[in-house]
Amino acid sequence: MVKFANEKSVQEFKDLLGGLQKGDKKSKFKDRTDESSATQYFQFYGYLSQQQNMLQDYVRTTTFQRAILDNHGDFVGKVVLDVGAGSGILSFFAVQAGAKHVYAVEGSCMARYCSELIQHNKYQDKITVIKGMIEEVELPEQVDTIISEPMGYMLYNERMLETYIYARKWLKRGGKMFPSQGTLYLAPFSDEGLFQEVCNKANFWYQSFFYGVDLSKLRGEAYAEYLTQPIVDTFDPRHLVARPVKHSTNFLTDSEESLRDIHIDFTFYPHTASQVHGLAFWFDVSFEGSQKTVYLSTSPSEPLTHWYQVRCLIGTPLFARPGQPILGSVTLTSNKRTKLRRQIKRCTWRAARRRSPTRWI
């Protein structure tokens, strides 16, 4: 006789058996995703505390609700797909806007909690929860509208956007996607305090007599390691020294492949003389409905969200003069070790007329 500790364990065992019965056919998701990374990812989003963190993001939650309710014409009497439904909050918004039926697809154990909320709110005739990944499940019909919250840090982190775009296979011709487009912004920043803070962390390895051991041989490697770690925080927009450059992705037309390696050329024109310590990133998304376009922004000049902003430092600060162009490029590529994440692969930039570029890898 097999005994289980709780109901969650029973459900996980049933899901495992169901997967075995379907066979070992490899999905597009499994093709691009390291198994251990996927397990960690779904465990993370299976916690109610993490769902709470997102639900309590006032800007995020109210903007999604407003985008859906203000475009009720795209939902009244429509069949809707909620990709990565989580707690099901977007599915509830779709029903509030008059959706005929919603298919809420969720890959983590949060699917069980989502079902409980639906039954508790007596929406079981309106919302059907499907446990699994959109790349592996089958829907009973095509849908009129797709809703999701697929954005990660720097927009592309976690690679949920590829899953969101894959879901278009279930979208009827002329259907809507909420959100419809995402735009990543990048701009040079000056922040001596942040730069020195990171340098001071690496300076630990300068010690030549740490409990009798000389650590200084590793200081260079430690410094390089700290520089490869993006800093997720918020900052005063006055730290920006030039207007941002942007890169947009249309979720209705762009391909999954276009998101795997993203190359962005930039030319910045500083508006003040200052040391440039790195690049800052943020994003916005638009919900382009039939009745209204609604925007959600994570800009440092807008109210704070749980996405914050992201800053990446360069090893050698670059002195910028007003009006003197700073040219270069950034490449975002899928991380082959943890494929659900994104990383800065290469950034080269230089001041105009400067012979050798400042390079950060």
pLDDT, tens digit, 9 for 90 and up, residues 89-136: 999 999 999 999 999 999 999 999 999 999 999 999 999 999 999 999
pLDDT, tens digit, 9 for 90 and up, residues 321-348: 998 999 989 988 877 544 434 444 444 4
Taking each continuous run of H as one helix and of E as one strand, the counts in the chain are: 10, 15
C-alpha distances (whole Å) from 292 to each of 31, 179, 361 are 38, 12, 42
Mean pLDDT, to the nearest integer, of 149-174? 94
**Active site residue: 34, 254, 256, 306, which one?**
306
Could you tell me which residues come within 8 angstroms of residue 233 by beta carbon, excluding any fewer than 6 positions away? 308, 309, 311
**Active site residue: 57, 135, 144, 288, which one?**
57
The structure's pTM equals 0.85
**DSSP secondary structure letter of residue 88:** S
Tokens of 70: 């203000």
Which stretch of 84-93, 250-259, 341-350 has the lowest confidence by average pLDDT? Answer: 341-350
- C-alpha gyration radius of the chain: 23
- Residue 294 confidence (pLDDT): 98
**Active site residue: 149, 162, 191, 284, which one?**
149
pLDDT range class, residue 46, cuts 50, 70, 90: confident
pLDDT of residue 209 exceeding 60, the answer is: yes
Alpha-carbon distance of 189 to 278, in angstroms, equals 6
pLDDT, tens digit, 9 for 90 and up, residues 128-140: 999 999 999 999 9
**Is pLDDT larger for residue 235 or for residue 7?**
235
> Look-up: residue for tokens 């709780």?
6
pLDDT of residue 80 exceeding 50, the answer is: yes
pLDDT of residue 217 exceeding 60, the answer is: yes
Is-catalytic flag, 57? yes
Backbone dihedral angles phi then psi of residue 120, each to the nearest 5 degrees: -65, -35
- Residue 158 confidence (pLDDT): 85
Task: Give the distance, in angstroms, between the CA of residue 315 and the centroid of all CA atoms in the same chain.
Answer: 26
Which stretch of 147-161, 262-276, 333-347 has the lowest confidence by average pLDDT? Answer: 333-347
Alpha-carbon distance of 250 to 273, in angstroms, equals 36
- Residue 355 confidence (pLDDT): 39
Is-catalytic flag, 149? yes
pLDDT of residue 47 exceeding 50, the answer is: yes
Beta strands in the chain (DSSP E): 79-83, 101-106, 127-131, 143-148, 171-178, 181-189, 231-233, 245-250, 261-268, 274-288, 293-297, 309-320, 326-334, 342-351, 358-360
**Is pLDDT larger for residue 32 or for residue 224?**
224
**Is pLDDT larger for residue 285 or for residue 38?**
285
**Active site residue: 74, 106, 135, 158, which one?**
158
Question: What is the CB neighbour count within 10 angstroms for residue 88?
Answer: 27
